Amino acid sequence: MKKCTGNPYALLILDPQKSDNLKEILLSNRDEFSDFLYKIGLNVKHQEKTSNGVNHSSTVLTLRTTCFKVDFNDNSVKIAPLK
């Protein structure tokens, strides 16, 4: 792993909801975090096929390699991608 450098942009502020675990915070704010990812470049490809009466579907989510700066404090968690 190497250290990321860059300037933060597109700040997202989330309520930590009394947690200091980033995974828990992101899961409890998943709609807001998903919207944030779309804004910074999340690509979604969805495909549906039907053959012999059987439906198949797949969805692929792709986010270019991005480093994020995450700041925790008592009232919020600030997340910003680095550019």
Percentage of the chain surpassing pLDDT 70? 99
50 with 43: CB under 8 angstroms? no
What is residue 41's three-state secondary structure?
Answer: coil
**In which band, very low, low, confident or very high, does the pLDDT at 78 lie, cut at 50, 70 and 90?**
very high
Rounded Cα–Cα distance for residues 70 and 83 (Å) = 14
Q: Which pLDDT score, from 0 to 100, does residue 65 have?
A: 79
CB-CB neighbours of 10 under 10 Å: 12
Quick check: 1 pLDDT over 70?
no
**In which band, very low, low, confident or very high, does the pLDDT at 4 lie, cut at 50, 70 and 90?**
confident
Mean pLDDT over 16-21 rounds to 87
